[in-house]
């Protein structure tokens, strides 16, 4: 079918790239998030994180991020501004959503289907764009899988627009229909850090599949981290959250975080998946 060959190209218009820096470190599941010198306090009347704390955490980035906002931001008061940031702001024609977590005061991002790179998504034989009424997002266009034998859903983000010195997790959010089929083999989830210029050159063609292995350079981090997850036993008809990986935001190195959800083992045709998007959020303390 010629379907199993593609290139991982992340259009600059789909992602935010302010030329910031980040680095991947091994995660310690017992390590607590380094939020600030002290935990931000919440006003019990307004539900807002105290301005002095929240501004200290995000003011160095949120103004840049809001340049891509789809609608004007009400800046008539700090209360109105941060109320919008807590509820979420759509970016780049609703390809992304940015918000500040109320509890921690940390930046979060959602990359919707339109903000991801999905193999064959514009071929009506394999995928369809559907508009759904989502309880959280209102009308939202999502990618619905009709049938593919080679599944790839890729994304990229500059971690420096996230809060620094924080452990983040990357989570795919999707739904499997009751009639979904072809999911006997597990899907593969991959994360890696890569220079911004290299993102456009990265190939995921089958002949280059050996690139997607855990390669160590010296004593540092592996170039790619992978894990497998079975969807066969996942519930049907409800949203599923699948963790692709986690990373630590260190402003020392200029890299982008790239992530993929792939299904190609066995060559079976797959159907019945509805992709909402990928969320990058601070990892909860365990």
Q: Is 250 exposed, middle or buried (0-12, 13-18, 19+ CB in 10 A)?
A: middle
Rounded distance between C-alpha atoms, residue 101 and residue 103, angstroms = 6
The two three-digit tokens of residue 98, written as one number: 């940015």
The per-residue pLDDT string of the chain (286 residues; one tens digit each, 9 = 90 and over) reads 433 333 333 333 334 443 333 332 333 333 333 333 334 454 443 344 444 454 544 455 888 999 999 999 999 998 899 899 999 999 999 999 999 998 888 999 999 999 999 999 999 999 999 999 999 899 999 999 999 999 999 999 998 899 999 999 999 999 999 999 999 999 999 998 887 666 655 433 333 333 333 333 233 444 678 899 999 999 999 999 999 999 999 888 778 899 999 998 888 999 999 999 999 999 987 6
- Give the chain's domains with CATH numbers: 1-35+106-286 (2.60.120.260), 37-103 (no CATH)
- Residue pair 188/263 in contact (Cβ under 8 Å)? The answer is yes
Categorise residue 47: left if φ over 0, alpha if ψ from -120 to 50, beta otherwise. left
CA angle 152, 157, 161 (to 5 degrees): 160
The answer to whether residues 109 and 157 touch, using CB atoms and an 8 Å cutoff, is yes
Give me the long-range contacts of 136-142 (CB less than 8 A, separation at least 24).
Answer: 137/97, 137/112, 140/94, 140/112, 140/276, 141/94, 141/112, 141/113, 141/114, 142/112, 142/113, 142/274, 142/275, 142/276, 142/277
Number of DSSP helices (H) and strands (E) in the chain, helices first: 4, 13
What pTM does this model have? Answer: 0.75
| Residue in 201, 170, 183 with CA at minimum distance from that of residue 282 | 170
Other C-beta atoms closer than 10 Å to the C-beta of 76 total 8
pLDDT of residue 200: 53
CA distance 283 to 261: 20
CB-CB contact of 209 with 6 (8 Å): no
């Amino acid at each position: 079918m010629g379907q199993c060959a593609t290139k991982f190209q992340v259009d600059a218009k789909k992602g935010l790239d302010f030329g910031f820096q980040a680095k991947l470190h091994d995660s310690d599941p017992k390590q607590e998030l380094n939020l600030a010198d002290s935990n931000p306090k919440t006003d019990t009347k307004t539900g807002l994180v105290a301005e002095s704390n929240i501004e200290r955490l995000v003011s160095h980035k949120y103004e840049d991020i809001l340049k891509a906002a789809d609608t004007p931001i009400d800046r008539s008061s700090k209360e109105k501004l941060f109320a919008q940031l807590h509820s979420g702001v759509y970016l780049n024609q609703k390809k992304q959503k940015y918000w500040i977590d109320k509890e921690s005061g940390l930046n979060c991002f959602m990359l919707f289907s339109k903000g991801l790179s999905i193999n064959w998504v514009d071929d009506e034989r394999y995928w369809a764009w559907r508009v759904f009424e989502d309880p959280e997002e209102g009308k939202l266009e999502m990618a619905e899988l009709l049938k593919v034998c080679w599944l790839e859903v890729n994304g990229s983000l500059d971690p420096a627009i996230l809060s620094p010195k924080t452990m983040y997790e990357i989570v795919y959010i999707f739904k499997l229909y009751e009639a979904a089929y072809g999911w006997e083999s597990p899907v593969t989830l991959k994360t890696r850090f890569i220079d911004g210029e290299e993102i456009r050159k990265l190939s995921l063609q089958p002949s280059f599949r050996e690139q997607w292995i855990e390669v160590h350079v010296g004593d540092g981090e592996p170039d790619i981290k992978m894990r497998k997850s079975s969807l066969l036993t996942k519930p049907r008809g409800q949203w599923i959250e699948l963790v692709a990986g986690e990373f630590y935001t260190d402003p020392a190195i200029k890299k982008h975080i790239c992530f993929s959800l792939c299904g190609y083992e066995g060559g079976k045709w797959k159907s019945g998946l509805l992709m909402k998007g990928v969320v990058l959020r601070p990892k909860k303390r365990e």
